[in-house]
Chain A
Amino acid sequence: DIVMSQSPSSLAVSVGEKVTMSCKSSQSLLYSSNQKNYLAWYQQKPGQSPKLLIYWASTRESGVPDRFTGSGSGTDFTLTISSVKAEDLAVYYCQQYYSYRTFGGGTKLEIK
């Protein structure tokens, strides 16, 4: 099974700051046949269902603000929020779909 690890487990930032969070997989998520990374990012706000932010590691879902950017390849991935807003308070999960599906443990974003 592919294991997904996220860091940090939590972080607190001020509005307007830039945030980066990491996701690592136990094996490569890059399919050689199509050169796509089988990784998604989700945002889960308190009391809500998860929401898809990014798929194929770097493709923003329709309607997602452009302050959210996914990057990385192979086993190392990053979600960046360029200028945090108060509404970004949430837990962020990465998820692989290279070998069925596995979620990471999440990064909890708190606003100072």
Chain B
Amino acid sequence: EVKLVESGGGLVQPGGSLRLSCATSGFTFSDFYMEWVRQPPGKRLEWIAASRNKANDYTTEYSASVKGRFIVSRDTSQSILYLQMNALRAEDTAIYYCARDAVIKGAMDYWGQGTSVTVSS
């Protein structure tokens, strides 16, 4: 059974940092792209970061809204996806989801339950 479990969310002050984790199981982690998607309260989904699969050298992509501040990485030995978030702003307040991206589908076929991040003083 495919599972994605996010953790690491919480309350952080503007300008602070936080690292989110997404523990995965039930599939070959290195075969899949992995994505981070966030959803501010009451708003639309926003894709923010991606880690391609091993075949694509785990290269990364970022949305303009987080590029230069957020870093996505993997621990392939433990099948964990990370999102290091730096220089946090109030507008980064959201639920953060990790999702598996199946290349053969091109879409995100499994999602975690999300972890909440609040940026406030």
| Closest A residue to B45 using CB positions | A103
Q: Are B35 and A101 in contact (CB under 8 A)?
A: yes
Q: Verify B45–A50 contact, CB threshold 8 A.
A: yes
Q: Which residues of A contact B44 (CB under 8 A)?
A: 93, 103-106
Number of A-B contacts (CB under 8 A): 60
A55:B111 contact, CB within 8 angstroms: no
One digit per residue, 1 when the CB lies within 8 angstroms of any chain A CB and 0 when it does not, for chain B 78-120 equals 0000000000000000000101000001111101111000000
What is the minimal beta-carbon distance from A109 to any residue of chain B, in angstroms? 15
Most buried by B among A1, A38, A101, A104: A101
Contact partner of B45 (CB less than 8 A), chosen from A36, A51, A93, A100, is A93
Interface check A52, CB cutoff 8 A: yes
Of all chain B residues, which has the CB nearest A93? Answer: B45
Can you list 13 contacts pairing A with B, beta carbon distance less than 8 Å?
Answer: A50-B111, A51-B111, A52-B108, A56-B105, A93-B44, A95-B108, A97-B106, A100-B50, A100-B61, A101-B47, A103-B44, A103-B45, A106-B45
